[in-house]
Amino acid sequence: MPALSGVSLLSLALNVRGPVAVARLVAEGATAVKVEPPGGDPLTLYSRAWYDALHAGVTIMPIDLKTGDGRAALEPCLSRADVVIMSQRPAALSRLGLAPDALRARHPHLRVVTIVGDTSAPDRPGHDVTYQADAGLLRAELPGTFLADLAGAADAVTAVLLALREPAGTHRVVGLRDALVPFTAPRRHGLAGPDGRFGGADPAYGVYAAADGVVAVAALEPHFRDRFYAALGLPLDAPLHDVMRGRTCDDWDSFARTHDVPVSRVR
């Protein structure tokens, strides 16, 4: 049987972090009901295809929690759930009568997982890019993925699994900014900052302009480094900007296969 067969989830968590976490738990056998506002989850406006993929097997219930009738309609859902997952800010949950203490008073059996932006300032507004900025993980461009949301979703899955092993009434809090802490370790330890070996100080580990695009080089181990520079006819650790611009991305793909070195185009 699936590991979470028989576990009932109720989700009030919108956007990315909640749906990603719930999808992972449903994949392990949990059943899930998701309550959405009358206008639906904002994720449908950004990517309907991703929304549909994340909500396969999830029962959607449109309920307006800002009304008394809507809050009353939520109570039977809470009574049937083993775990409720919420991603609203604490002040908003309090206004809706859904603060964890209030929930547990009405439903002592319930385990509660709340996802906030930052556990040190849970009512402060933010989104993935601001949490990455606060964590020192951004440079002067938008990130290539929703790192805080996806890391936070993974932490939410862990929180649900741990809560299921803990007494009824357990409340666990997941912070998106907090979820980024492990990803800041390379920078904190001097590896990935501007002067770090993995931040640009090592010419054999970098991102370079090619003739028609951009390529990444990661010739770290001595055998890769020796082979890479020997194939280029350059002394070890020589600057690479000029030579990298001399070939196309296809040329570099071929070069990487021929010489068995870690060079890839940036897609």
For the chain (267 residues), the mean pLDDT of every run of 10, in chain order, is 95 98 98 97 97 98 97 97 98 97 96 98 97 93 96 98 97 98 95 89 97 97 97 97 98 98 97
Domain housing 251: 202-265
| Confidence (pLDDT) at 78 | 98
Out of 153, 185, 217, a domain closes at 185
Cβ–Cβ < 8 Å for 54, 82: no
pLDDT score for 16: 97
Cβ atoms within 10 Å of 126's Cβ, excluding its own:
17
> Of 119, 151, 185, which one is at a domain's C-terminal end?
185
- pLDDT recorded at residue 1: 81
Does residue 20 sit in the same domain as residue 132?
Answer: yes
16 lies in the same domain as 57: yes
**Same domain, residue pair 14 and 144:** yes
Q: Same structural domain for residues 150 and 45? A: yes
DSSP structure string for 114-166: EEES-TTSTTS---HHHHHHHTT---SS--SS-HHHHHHHHHHHHHHHHHHTS
Q: Is residue 197 part of a domain?
A: no
Please tell me the distance from the alpha carbon of residue 249 to that of residue 238, in angstroms, as a whole number.
21
Which CATH number does the domain housing residue 86 bear? 3.40.50.10540
Same domain, 135 and 241: no
Rounded to two decimals, the pTM is 0.92
Boundary-marking domain end, from 129, 157, 185: 185
Residue 238 structure tokens: 């020589």
Domain match, 166 and 58 both: yes
Same domain, 151 and 211: no
Please indicate, yes or no, if residue 194 is contained in any of the structural domains: no
Q: Is the dihedral of CA 27, 28, 33, 36 positive or negative?
A: negative
Query: 180 with 260, same domain?
Result: no
Burial classification of residue 146, based on how many CB atoms lie within 10 Å of its CB (0-12 exposed, 13-18 middle, 19 or more buried): buried
* Residue 196 placed within a domain: no
What is the C-alpha to C-alpha distance for residues 179 and 182, in angstroms, rounded to an integer?
7
150 lies in the same domain as 217:
no
Number of domains comprising the chain: 2
Q: Indicate if 146 and 213 belong to the same structural domain.
A: no
How high is the pLDDT of residue 140?
86
Task: Round the CA-based radius of gyration of the chain to a whole number and report it.
Answer: 24
Structural domain includes residue 3: no
229 domain residue, yes or no: yes
Q: Are residues 171 and 215 in the same domain?
A: no
Residue 240 CB coordination number (10 Å): 18
Q: What is the CATH number of the domain that holds 228?
A: 3.30.1540.10
CA dihedral angle for residue 24, residue 28, residue 33, residue 38, rounded to 10 degrees: 20
Distance from C-alpha of 41 to C-alpha of 98, rounded to nearest angstrom: 19
**Are 181 and 216 part of one and the same domain?**
no
The answer to whether residue 192 is domain-embedded is no
Residue 190 placed within a domain = no
Cα separation, 137 vs 140, in Å, equals 10
In DSSP terms, which residues pair with 265 in a beta bridge?
Answer: 215
Assigned domain for 171 exists = yes
